A and B are shown apart, each in its own frame.
Chain A
């Protein structure tokens, strides 16, 4: 996906100077990542595209204010997650129903599924069904946990970058990430428990 090979400092300088081909480079370099974040966050391709467009329109307009304290990518992730989360909040406000229960501090992360998957990600490719289950599980996360998880574990940002992009402290980012992972683990465990596995046999560790 990489395009022109100029380094970030040169790119920022060119963007600030109003160089339009630098905008093309910016878009080509980062748009696939921003689109993936938007798609996972919104769970809807049309809305994801709107967030994508909003992000780059805003970035091109405000690049003069970019101070270089974070990397360009973290800055873009921040614009995109802000835009996405704002839309999700509006959507929730408009639908009235409280589809997102309050976090039950401690109880939320107590594992219920204690089944050995009998499956090793390193030895198997992802099939369509599993991808769908994984996507659904992410979509079911409360939005703030979802954003932290997407940035850290799907996009591969560091804890510090994730915190920076979300405008929260590193320890808050870690808490959100952990809660997200624990919820996803529950969902995926339910999936693996429900499918037959020769290596697991009938001897599950699932608590009754």
Chain B
């Protein structure tokens, strides 16, 4: 069975991000959950959509390479104001 054949799937697909973000109103959540209980394909989509978001959120803290930071301070003319760092 494909998602295309199931009218409920098509209708609910657009709400899945709101659903996994818990930003969907109660009534619609219940509707989605009722549908998920009987639709294996949509369960896979919700599960893998959730994992997709999780994966990117695991990326960790941002990093700024030292040379990029050094050039940024230079272009902003801020080097004289850096304390306790080699210029």
Contacts and interface: CB of A to CB of B under 8 A. Distances in A.
B86 interface: no
Contacts of B57: 153-154, 156
Contacts of A185: 45, 48-49, 52
Interface residues of A, number: 51
B56 A154 contact: yes
Contacts of A126: 55, 58-59
A45 B3 CA distance: 40
Given A24-B82, A53-B75, A115-B44, A174 B18 contact: yes
Contact of A21 (B48, B72, B81): B81
Interface string B48-85: 11011111111101111000110111011010011000
Classify chain B: how many residues form its interface, as a range. Answer: 35 or more
Interface of B: 2-4, 10, 13-14, 16-18, 21, 23, 40-41, 44-45, 47-49, 51-59, 61-64, 68-69, 71-73, 75-76, 78, 81-82
Given A31-B72, A117-B47, 16 more contacts: A1-B62, A24-B81, A56-B76, A111-B13, A111-B41, A111-B45, A114-B3, A115-B48, A117-B48, A121-B55, A126-B59, A159-B21, A181-B52, A181-B53, A184-B56, A188-B52
